[in-house]
Amino acid sequence: MKTDIDTCPIDLFCFSGSTSNSEANRPILSFVFVQKIVSSGDENKDGGLDFNEFNNYLKEHEKKLRLTFKSLDKNNDGHIDASEIKQSLEELGMDITKEEAQTILQSMDIDGTMMVDWNEWRDHFLFNPAHNLNEIIRYWKHSSVLDIGESIAIPDEFTEEEKTSGGWWKQLAAGAMAGAVSRTGTAPLDRVKVFMQVHSSKSNRVTLLGGFKQMIKEGGVASLWRGNGVNVLKIAPETAIKFMAYEQYKKLLTPEGGKVQTHQRFMAGSLAGATAQSSIYPMEVMKTRLTLGKTGQYNGMFDCAKKILRKEGIKAFYKGYTPNMIGIIPYAGIDLAVYESLKNAWLSRYAKDTANPGILVLLGCGTISSTCGQLASYPLALLRTRMQAQATLEASDKSTMTGLMKGIMANEGFFGLYRGILPNFMKVIPAVSLSYVVYEYMKTGLGISK
């Protein structure tokens, strides 16, 4: 008999989660998991499972689960406890607390002994097509796929298996494409943000709607995407440099054979972000100049670079560099701290049956942490943008970082440092949604298993 996922009754995939008859331990698989099981066991690729294929899937999957169980069972006593889960995740570069390890354990512990034997382990994962421990712990990786226009967050961790198999570059490529689509989709909001940061003041108030009207009147609807090309082009080199630098800084900061602590990850991530930003910073300046440019002022990125070099010299490509570097620390630190706090809060309060929070929780945590990071570093981002745009400003507005800050505080007050924050926040949700959807499609296209 052939089983097709579109026609079979869902009860076929509702299996007892324990050797007892307890209904509380009966997991119901989602349609996504059903699809994954079918794709994993479908040997002849006809879109369904017959009895032999399903039987072979169970046998092969059980073998992989047995190997994973043995790798976790450090003392070979036939049981896994919280300390063994904690140790195994630390070896994979994921630092968790004892309480978090106990939460993961409780999601599998059927008899309440705070230990998991082979039967409990097998019954918990048998109909979840996660092939190894690396896939099981990926739930809570702080994903860099959530591109909201700033590239100074701490990079993702990759397991040794991902590094040796080449899976890391596929994930980076999928993330870069997701970022390109996300930035293009939210480019009008990004341009009006920059316009408000540079030109809005108490005496010349620029509203969101007014900014859009001015830009469309000056250059038409297409002008809303001015500067987006260079903003997309810089994703690939920045991502690659940040990833390579992050791996090197981790090696320098971590004792040989030791695990990466949270503070070391923060330091390595901040240094990697600074290295990547230093390498591509001239593109940041060109993006700002193109964004603020009038119709016909620049004939593309290279023309912009030539005009800046000829009129202002090489130093102009690093205007605003200091506030940009300083802004990395509060952004990366707060982003990481808020995400870890939200993750721990969810695990301690809601993770009773599973350690998997679901995509809405993950996206929510990532969005909130990134927004908090932006909120803390926004005044520095505004100073950076104004310094990058100094050639387009009046002579009286040209100043050093401290001079600019004093001038803004004196003339506009504290909230003058947050000009343009509204369109910046407005683009967060569409940017996150676009980047996640594209990332998932790219992962499928590149053959990356979740």
Buried residues in 118-150 as b, exposed as e (16+ CB within 10 A): eebbebbbbbbbbbebbbbbbbbebbbbbbbbb
Asked whether the predicted pLDDT for residue 16 surpasses 70, the reply is no
Residues 430-441, mean pLDDT to the nearest whole number: 86
Q: For position 158, what pLDDT does the model report? A: 66
Buried residues in 196-215 as b, exposed as e (16+ CB within 10 A): bbbbbeeeeebebeebbebb
Q: Report the share of the chain in percent with pLDDT over 70.
A: 74
Residues 337-349, mean pLDDT to the nearest whole number: 79
Q: For position 100, what pLDDT does the model report? A: 74
Q: Is the dihedral of CA 284, 285, 286, 288 positive or negative?
A: positive
Q: For position 309, what pLDDT does the model report? A: 93
Answer with the residue of higher pLDDT: 8 or 375: 375
Range among 38-52, 76-90, 95-109, 197-211 rated most confident: 197-211
Q: For position 21, what pLDDT does the model report? A: 35
Q: Which amino acid belongs to residue 292? A: L
Q: For position 28, what pLDDT does the model report? A: 43
Q: For position 7, what pLDDT does the model report? A: 36
- Residue found under tokens 């440092």: 417
Confidence band (pLDDT; 50, 70, 90) for 398?
low
Asked whether the predicted pLDDT for residue 1 surpasses 70, the reply is no
Asked whether the predicted pLDDT for residue 149 surpasses 50, the reply is yes
d(CA 269, CA 152): 9
Query: Taking a C-beta distance cutoff of 8 angstroms, is the pair 144, 138 a contact?
Result: no
Residues 120-129, mean pLDDT to the nearest whole number: 67
Residues 6+ apart with CB under 8 A from 438: 177, 178, 181, 182
- Considering the entire predicted model, what is its pTM? 0.67
Asked whether the predicted pLDDT for residue 259 surpasses 50, the reply is yes
Q: Which of 248-252, 284-288, 381-385 has the lowest mean pLDDT?
A: 248-252
Q: What mean pLDDT, rounded, does the chain reach? A: 78
pLDDT digits (tens, 9 = 90+) for 190-231: 999 999 999 888 888 889 999 999 999 999 999 999 999 999
Query: Taking a C-beta distance cutoff of 8 angstroms, is the pair 419, 428 a contact?
Result: no
d(CA 160, CA 168): 10
Burial group, residue 450, by CB count within 10 angstroms (0-12, 13-18, 19+): exposed
Residues 98-111, mean pLDDT to the nearest whole number: 76
Asked whether the predicted pLDDT for residue 292 surpasses 80, the reply is yes
Bridge partners, residue 116, by sequence: 80
Q: Which of 4-8, 260-264, 433-437 has the lowest mean pLDDT?
A: 4-8
Q: Is the dihedral of CA 164, 67, 250, 338 positive or negative?
A: positive
Q: For position 29, what pLDDT does the model report? A: 45
- Helix/strand/coil for 28: strand
